[in-house]
Structure 1
Amino acid sequence: MSENGLNLSFEEALKKLEEIVKKLEGGNLTLEDTLSLFQEGIQLSRICTEKLNEASGKISILAKDIDGTFSEKPFGEGKNDR
């Protein structure tokens, strides 16, 4: 990958990953090109995963406590309690 992946937004990385998938599905590539695109795809996949993990860490929800007050809790906390 020519660019530093850290400079890519989630949307940019995902778009590039989708383009790679289309090229790989086309099947008209040499083995070397296929391997190169596959490696780039893995890097882009990792970037997307990191960006999603960062975003999920920032997401929180307001939850109403038993006493009627509201408190902020991490997203997904207590989802198995329902």
Structure 2
Amino acid sequence: METVNKELSFEEGIEHLERIVRELEQKEVPLEQALNLFRQGIELVQNCNNQLDYAEKQMQILLENPNGELEVRPADFPVEG
């Protein structure tokens, strides 16, 4: 029974999750294998959600003003065109 690597990047986790979904969509997957893949998928979703939560907290820290209040600032991305 394979376990999910907790050190996967967010992108790697999503790619692994997509592979699991493709495999589960095949009609020939035995029940035991399908249950194992489903469990791995749940672990990947939880891992990716944890990474998103952490990223959100980091953004809040970066956006906090000196008074401890969150500021909404416009993103300063270069416009391509």
Q: Given the two structures, how large is their TM-score scaled by the length of structure 2?
A: 0.69
Give the counterpart of 2:70 among 69, 73, 79: 73
Change (3 A) 1:62 1:8: same
**1:47 is the counterpart of 2:47:** yes
Give the RMSD, CA atoms, in angstroms.
Answer: 2.4
The equivalent of 1:4 in structure 2 is 5
Task: Name the SS for the 2:28 alignment partner.
Answer: coil
Q: Which runs of 5+ in 2 are unaligned?
A: 73-81
Paired positions, count: 67
**1:30 is the counterpart of 2:27:** no
State the alpha-carbon separation in 1 of the partners of residues 18 and 4 from structure 2: 17
On the 8 A contact 1:59/1:74 being kept in 2, the answer is no
State the alpha-carbon separation in 2 of the partners of residues 45 and 74 from structure 1: 30
Q: Given the two structures, how large is their TM-score scaled by the length of structure 1?
A: 0.68
State the alpha-carbon separation in 2 of the partners of residues 49 and 3 from structure 1: 14
Change (3 A) 1:30 1:4: same
Q: CA deviation at 1:59?
A: 1.3
Larger C-alpha radius of gyration, 1 or 2? Answer: 1
